[in-house]
Amino acid sequence: MEGVEDPLFDELQGLIGESILIVTESDQLNLFGQAFRPIFCGTIQAVEQGTVTLFPVNIKMVTAPFFQFPTPLTIPLEKIGQFTPNFDCNARIPLT
């Protein structure tokens, strides 16, 4: 994949160590039997060709808006619908 330009990869690469809010394209996901909207907030730990890894990462769920996922979470770049860099992960946002 050498020589292929990817502006999203380049932008995220420059944000390593910064916090980010990511919304994926899925309508909802399921974790531990809990359905939730795919809204994640965390620190960019690594960016590789095709993926971004967040850790620590909060999953914004209605029942637990500050649930901290216990391991690094890797998200495929093609599944990112929207993102906001330098987002305060402690900020309260409406989820309903």
Say what the pLDDT of residue 63 is. Answer: 79
* Residue 10 lies inside a defined structural domain of this protein: no
pTM exceeds 0.85: yes
Averaged pLDDT for residues 22-29: 90
* Residue 42 lies inside a defined structural domain of this protein: yes
Percentage of the chain surpassing pLDDT 90?
Answer: 62
Say what the pLDDT of residue 81 is. Answer: 94
* Residue 93 lies inside a defined structural domain of this protein: no
Say what the pLDDT of residue 3 is. Answer: 64
Q: How many residues does the chain have?
A: 96
Query: Residue written as tokens 């399921």?
Result: 30
Percentage of the chain surpassing pLDDT 70?
Answer: 94
Domain count, the chain: 1
* Residue 74 lies inside a defined structural domain of this protein: yes
* Residue 11 lies inside a defined structural domain of this protein: no
Confidence of residue 93 (pLDDT cuts 50, 70, 90): confident
* Residue 61 lies inside a defined structural domain of this protein: yes
Task: Find all residues with CB under 8 Å of 57, minimum gap 6, and list them.
Answer: 40, 41, 42, 43, 68, 69, 72, 73
Q: What are phi and psi of 12, to 5 degrees?
A: -65, -35
* Residue 7 lies inside a defined structural domain of this protein: no
Average pLDDT, the chain: 90
Which residues form the domain of 75?
28-84
The CA distance from 92 to 77, in Å, is 25
How many Cβ atoms from other residues are within 10 Å of residue 23's Cβ?
16
